Amino acid sequence: MNKYIPVLTAVLVIIISCFSSRLLASGVIEFKLPDNSSIKFQPIYLGLDGNDIFSSKRVKLGSREGNDVNYKERLSTTNLGGSFVGVNKIGEKEWLYYLGQTEVSQQQWNAVMRWWQRENKLTIEPVNTAILPQTAKTPAEIFTFIEALNVWMLKNAKESLPKNGNAIAYVRLPTEVEWAFAARGGNEVSPSVFDRPYPYVDEDENMILAGYEWHRSSSGNKVKETGSEYIKPNPLGLYDMIGNVEELTYGVFGHDFLFARFGGLVIRGGNYSMDSKDLKVSRRTEYDGYTGNGDLIRLSKVGFRLALGTLVSETGHSNEELDAGYDEYLSSDSGVSQPTTSGNTSLSQQAIDDQITHYNNERQRLVEEMTVLRQQNTQFESEYMALKGHLEQKKVDVDALSRELDAERIKSQDMAKLADTSSLENKFDVLINSKDSEISRLHSEINFLKQKVSQQTVVVSNAESSKKQMLSLQQQVNDAERRDSTANFEIEKNKKRIVVAEKRLLEALTRVAGYNLYSAWRNLETIDKKRKVSNNPKIWRVNQLEAENMLKEYRRYIIQIVDNTDRTLFPEVKIDLIRWLKENKVSNQQIKGMDLLERHLHEVREGKYLQVDELYKNLRYEPEMGM
């Protein structure tokens, strides 16, 4: 029996190791850094089936406040996917990504960079153990830090790094979408809270900020330590997402999130010196790193946090499996749409539709509330008029009885002169008592009616208040209709902008692709001429390499045109481009190449994959390129 103990022990170790690795991929990960420091990463679950090779979810970026925000924060819709598969709370596989629990501190930066400097025999900076956020670094310096941290992790903590198949995690800046989804609270908050300026609410889901973020009032206008014990994390367990210091992301800034004139890197969130009313998850600014004289700008209120990612192509899946998984992904509801000039498949159009839907829902709600208030007001007015009429009738009855009583008194006085006084007095007393009793009853009824009128007066007063509220709601409806009209105007304007932007993109890609095709053809022609002079391959080796490189680039641009542009725009762009080529008197072969380029686009859209070796062998003999 003893001879089996080592084997059983080894199996047990493997099982425990696998189980631990599984748990590790699902919870907070902490990595040891040089100089006894460490860094923690929080898992951000996406609610996507971990059994799917490719999967993503629609995410709204920007503010939900419509026209009340500037151009940087307008609402837009894009997709977000995970880098790892973990086990969720109910034991199912789910896609996730990892985000730094806090902003990178000066201590973490110092520990990694001092190790890097020692490894590369560079000047070693002094020790810094401050837990304040590391700020005032340029993107180049940040990328150097990330490179150093990745090297350290692979050398010293490789077994602790999570994996997706064969793909090992590496450290990078988070994308703008990853940052925004986590800042809003991700799947840990309700959809209504996710859409608010920040995801902090009390038990009644009223927005609160106190105790969650550092701003001017809470920080005393001073930067605070990362992950401070004096504030609470957001619903995902992340600290300082929209306060303390702003954070650099791995996104390129544009005036919107899809068709944009891209600029510098994107900075997200607010900082400790801002007013609390200005802190919101939609806040985004553009990184500007240089003065007009070429000096570096170091932003003292901008830091960064890290994310963990993997290489998509290194997961261990075969190309066939990846292709099949991608086809399944495209056919699913979560599949990303190709950008087009209009229609539901355009992500930019979908974002506009989201905003219009919000306006329409708000308008419908206000109309329904106004209808209910109008019905209540009509009912109150009807009851009030009925009571008022009843009261008027009772007053008429009282007046008639009073006149009748006065007449009876006169008759009694006349009869007293002709009849027995005692008998007449008794009759008169009976009559008087009867009439007095009737008058008393009528007075009681009048008092009762007065009370009812008083009550109805309160009801009418409430109705008047409701009427004012109804008018206010009507004003809101009118405002919503005006915003709806503005949104429709913006839609038409954006459609035109999208067409212009996509035509420019298509023209640029087609121009470069056509030139690469012509350059490859020209080098092949040169090779043919050189072969007639000599059989030595060295003579045309340079031309061969250039032709192959040009054809590789040509294929890459053809795929980009198919993937990223609308096919209906190509004929117009082709005509304009040929006109331009003729005006500039370029080679006729470059103009002919436009017809071959168009045929290749059609073939790729039909599923054919362009092979560089086939292009190289057949280019000179293609009918479109004939002399």
Least confident window among 111-125, 199-213, 409-423: 409-423
Q: 606 is written with which tokens?
A: 């039909």
Provide the pLDDT for residue 9. Answer: 42
The residue among 95 and 525 whose pLDDT is bigger is 95
Q: 217 is written with which tokens?
A: 């009032």
Least confident window among 296-310, 369-383, 588-602: 369-383
User: DSSP state, 296?
Assistant: B
233-257 pLDDT, tens digit each: 999 999 999 999 999 999 888 766 6
Q: Is the pLDDT of residue 417 over 60?
A: no
- Give 8's pLDDT tier (boundaries 50, 70, 90): very low
Cα 254 to chain centroid, rounded: 15
3-state SS of 303-317 is ECCCEEECCHHHCCC
Provide the pLDDT for residue 590. Answer: 86
- pTM, full prediction: 0.55
The residue among 591 and 169 whose pLDDT is bigger is 169
504 near 602, Cβ under 8 Å?
Answer: no
The residue among 215 and 74 whose pLDDT is bigger is 215
**Gap between the Cα atoms of 581 and 233, Å rounded:** 60
Domains and CATH numbers, the chain: 25-334 (3.90.1580.10), 361-495 (1.10.287), 498-625 (no CATH)
Q: Is the pLDDT of residue 30 over 80?
A: yes
What's the longest Cα–Cα distance across the chain?
165
The residue among 568 and 422 whose pLDDT is bigger is 568
- Give 38's pLDDT tier (boundaries 50, 70, 90): very high
Provide the pLDDT for residue 173. Answer: 97
332-344 pLDDT, tens digit each: 655 544 443 333 3
Q: 544 is written with which tokens?
A: 């061969």
**Gap between the Cα atoms of 116 and 122, Å rounded:** 8
Provide the pLDDT for residue 353. Answer: 62
Q: Report the relative pairing of strands 38-49 and 93-100 from DSSP bridges.
A: antiparallel
Q: 33 is written with which tokens?
A: 């850094």
Mean pLDDT is highest, among 153-157, 203-207, 380-384, 506-510, for: 153-157
Q: Is the pLDDT of residue 121 over 90?
A: yes
Provide the pLDDT for residue 260. Answer: 61
Provide the pLDDT for residue 374. Answer: 76
Q: What is the mean pLDDT of residues 460-481?
A: 69
**Gap between the Cα atoms of 188 and 185, Å rounded:** 6
Beta bridge partners of 85: 95
Provide the pLDDT for residue 255. Answer: 66
- Give 35's pLDDT tier (boundaries 50, 70, 90): very high
Starting from the edge strand earliest in sequence, which strands make up the sheet with 246-252, in order? 284-286, 265-268, 246-252, 302-303
Q: Report the relative pairing of strands 246-252 and 302-303 from DSSP bridges.
A: parallel
Mean pLDDT is highest, among 1-5, 131-135, 193-197, 450-454, for: 131-135
**Gap between the Cα atoms of 255 and 70, Å rounded:** 10
Q: What is the mean pLDDT of residues 576-586?
A: 87
Provide the pLDDT for residue 187. Answer: 94
- Give 431's pLDDT tier (boundaries 50, 70, 90): low
Q: Is the pLDDT of residue 421 over 60?
A: no
440 near 401, Cβ under 8 Å?
Answer: no
Provide the pLDDT for residue 205. Answer: 84
Beta bridge partners of 80: 57
Q: 299 is written with which tokens?
A: 């932003």
435 near 405, Cβ under 8 Å?
Answer: yes
45-59 pLDDT, tens digit each: 999 999 988 888 888
Provide the pLDDT for residue 342. Answer: 34
230 near 223, Cβ under 8 Å?
Answer: no
**Gap between the Cα atoms of 11 and 8, Å rounded:** 5
Q: What mean pLDDT value characterizes the chain?
A: 81
The residue among 169 and 429 whose pLDDT is bigger is 169
Beta bridge partners of 164: 167
Contacts of residues 476-483 at CB distance under 8 Å and 24 or more positions apart, as own/partner, are 476/366, 477/363, 477/366, 477/367, 477/370, 480/359, 480/362, 480/363, 480/366, 481/363, 483/66, 483/67, 483/359
Residue 488: left (phi > 0), alpha (psi -120 to 50), or beta?
A: alpha
Q: Is the pLDDT of residue 602 over 60?
A: yes
Provide the pLDDT for residue 261. Answer: 72
Least confident window among 157-161, 350-354, 525-529: 350-354
Provide the pLDDT for residue 10. Answer: 42
**Gap between the Cα atoms of 199 and 194, Å rounded:** 6
The residue among 282 and 475 whose pLDDT is bigger is 282
* % of the chain exceeding 70 in pLDDT: 77
- Give 571's pLDDT tier (boundaries 50, 70, 90): very high
CA nearest neighbour of 147 among 129, 167, 131, 170: 170
Q: Is the pLDDT of residue 597 over 80?
A: yes
